[in-house]
């Protein structure tokens, strides 16, 4: 099931969205409704059971939709990050800019979400029209609940990370 929550006045002036799904394909379908031309993605996923091809297909779809910054968190997030970089290189081989990607395997969910909301800044020229941060949680209800709670109450996220 996909649950979508919107917060219109998020950090860095971006709209905040939260999507949940049982699989990348389910989330990908829900992202079609996103109106932003460019977006930062906070991806919360235990990808250990996902094949490289599944991650690559998901990355292709997100890049085509306007992904300009990936913040990956969860078990196997470094591999997810690397596969998204592969798609960026394939889709944009001769460009002067890149899709920024980071992985946060040594940080808490709260610290990684804080980074996505307050520090993830796309490379030029993508920074000009990046108007949304989208938090996607795949196949984990408790992580999705936490992300949605923090997006709805950024002050509680501040307290959780000690800021």
Q: How confident is the model at residue 20 (pLDDT cuts 50, 70, 90)?
A: very high
**pLDDT value, residue 87:** 95
With cut-offs at 50, 70 and 90, classify the pLDDT of residue 8: low
* Structural fold of domain 5-133+151-161: 3.90.190
Q: Among candidates 121, 28, 43, 24, which has minimal Cα distance to 81?
A: 43
Residue 1 pLDDT exceeds 60: no
| Domain spans, the chain | 5-133+151-161
**pLDDT tens across 103-158, in order?**
999 999 999 999 999 999 999 888 888 989 999 999 999 999 999 999 999 999 99
| pLDDT score of 94 | 76
Q: Where are the beta strands (DSSP E) in 2-153?
A: 5-7, 15-21, 38-45, 67-73, 100-103, 130-138
Q: What is the mean pLDDT of residues 15-42?
A: 89
Q: Looking at per-residue confidence, does 111 or 1 come out higher?
A: 111
User: What is the pLDDT at residue 12?
Assistant: 82
Judged by DSSP in three states, 132 sits in strand
């Amino acid at each position: 099931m996909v649950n979508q929550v919107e917060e219109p006045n998020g950090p860095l002036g971006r709209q905040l969205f939260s999507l949940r799904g049982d699989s990348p394909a389910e989330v990908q379908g829900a992202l079609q409704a996103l109106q932003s031309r460019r977006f930062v993605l906070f991806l919360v996923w235990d990808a250990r059971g996902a094949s490289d091809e599944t991650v690559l297909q998901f990355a292709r779809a997100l890049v085509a939709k306007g992904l300009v910054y990936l913040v990956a968190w969860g078990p196997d997030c470094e591999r997810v990050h690397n596969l998204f970089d592969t798609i960026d290189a394939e889709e944009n081989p001769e460009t002067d800019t890149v899709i920024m990607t980071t992985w946060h395997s040594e940080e808490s969910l709260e610290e990684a979400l804080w980074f996505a909301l307050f520090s993830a800044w796309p490379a030029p020229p993508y920074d000009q029209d990046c108007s949304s941060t989208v938090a996607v949680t795949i196949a984990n209800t408790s992580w999705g609940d936490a992300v949605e709670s923090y997006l709805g109450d950024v002050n509680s996220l501040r307290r959780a990370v000690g800021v």
